[in-house]
Amino acid sequence: MSILIDEKTRLLVQGITGGEGSFHTRRCIEYGTKVVAGVTPGKGGTKMDEVPVFNTVERAVAETGANTSIIFVPAAFAADAILEAADAGIPLIVCITEGIPTLDMVMVSNYLKQKGTRLIGPNCPGLLSAGKCKVGIMSGDIFLKGNVGVISRSGTLTYEAVSQLTTLGIGQTTCIGLGGDPIIGTVFVDALELFQKDPDTEAVVLIGEIGGNQEQRAAEFIKNKMTKPVVAFIAGASAPPGRRMGHAGAIITGASGRAQDKMDALAAAGVNVTKNPAEIGSTMQKVLASKKGKKRS
């Protein structure tokens, strides 16, 4: 199985006629994703390749049955785009856009909780269910269908981890790029809960970074409710306090935001923590081999 997206996903692209939107729409289609509609106000009635374009999300959903949206619109309009998708009844929204004002996301976050809509991102690479569906900007050719879930706050490290796993012959179920902003929709605990319930996911890779307390909350969930092994890496161990490192959310503003504190919390919860990003794949390989050995005994 996979989580959140699969062969039944009917994707709508908001901002489909822009440079980024059209480029990545074609890549999603090439991977096998069913892209059923695009939305660009003022361009309704046209097509992007063979994909029909609508003026509004509501109209696109009504005519195509779209059940997932991906957003490529500029930051100034991204919050409104998320709200429009939620109002149209789309249950899963993936926002790739970076640079959305934090106050906009405070409002969006509160609104989505009332609607019961799941948001991935913003400022994220999206998600991909190996061999089934791609909703985002990840490079599909590095993925291999298998039984390891991947959750990450870092796009670059997501690709690195997946490439290592694939090279070792360790396939993936679904890979989720959570996003690097201070306020995001789906967090580690949400994704871990989904992977815990997925019968085909046998283990999970978790890639965190400095800033916030997502990793500590994940550690608590893993300790109390997770029965599947987790391998983790935390980026930013050498980052000085008070200085943002890359992502808007990657800034140490308190003890809980430091890399070592996150690693300690995860290790205390039984997570296999590696300090070297080059060893994410090999660490998972050892964990899976150990799990297989325990089953035989």
Q: For residue 241, what pLDDT band results from cuts at 50, 70 and 90?
A: low
Q: Does the annotation mark 247 as catalytic?
A: yes
Mean pLDDT of 103-112: 96
Instruction: Please check the confidence at residue 2 and state whether its pLDDT lies above 80.
Output: yes
Strand 133-136 versus strand 145-152 pairing type: unpaired
Topology given in CATH for the domain delimited by 10-120? Rossmann fold (3.40.50)
For residue 272, the cross-strand partners are: 231
For residue 148, the cross-strand partners are: 172, 203
| Stretch(es) of the chain classified as CATH 3.40.50.720 | 10-120
**One-letter-per-residue 3-state SS of the chain:** CCCCCCCCCEEEEECCCCHHHHHHHHHHHHHCCEEEEEECCCCCCCEECCEEEECCHHHHHHHHCCCEEEECCCHHHHHHHHHHHHHCCCCEEEECCCCCCHHHHHHHHHHHHHHCCEEECCCCCEEEECCCEEEECCCHHHCCEEEEEEEECCHHHHHHHHHHHHHCCCCEEEEEECCCCCCCCCCHHHHHHHHHHCCCCCEEEEEEECCCCHHHHHHHHHHHHCCCCEEEEEECCCCCCCCCCCCCCCCCCCHHHCHHHHHHHHHHCCCEECCCHHHHHHHHHHHHHHHHHHHHC
Q: For residue 246, what pLDDT band results from cuts at 50, 70 and 90?
A: low
Q: For residue 238, what pLDDT band results from cuts at 50, 70 and 90?
A: low
Instruction: Please check the confidence at residue 249 and state whether its pLDDT lies above 60.
Output: no
Predicted local confidence at residue 292, as pLDDT: 78
Nearest to 51 by CA among 19, 31, 25: 25
Domain 139-296 has CATH 3.40.50.261: yes
Sheet hosting strand 145-152, strand order edge to edge: 133-136, 126-129, 172-177, 145-152, 203-209, 230-235, 272-273
Q: Which of 24, 132, 247, 258 is catalytic?
A: 247
Q: How far apart are CA 209 and CA 236, in angstroms?
A: 6
For residue 133, the cross-strand partners are: 129
Predicted local confidence at residue 293, as pLDDT: 74
Q: For residue 250, what pLDDT band results from cuts at 50, 70 and 90?
A: very low
Give the angle subtended at the CA of 58 by the CAs of 52 and 60, to the nearest 5°.
15
Instruction: Please check the confidence at residue 227 and state whether its pLDDT lies above 60.
Output: yes
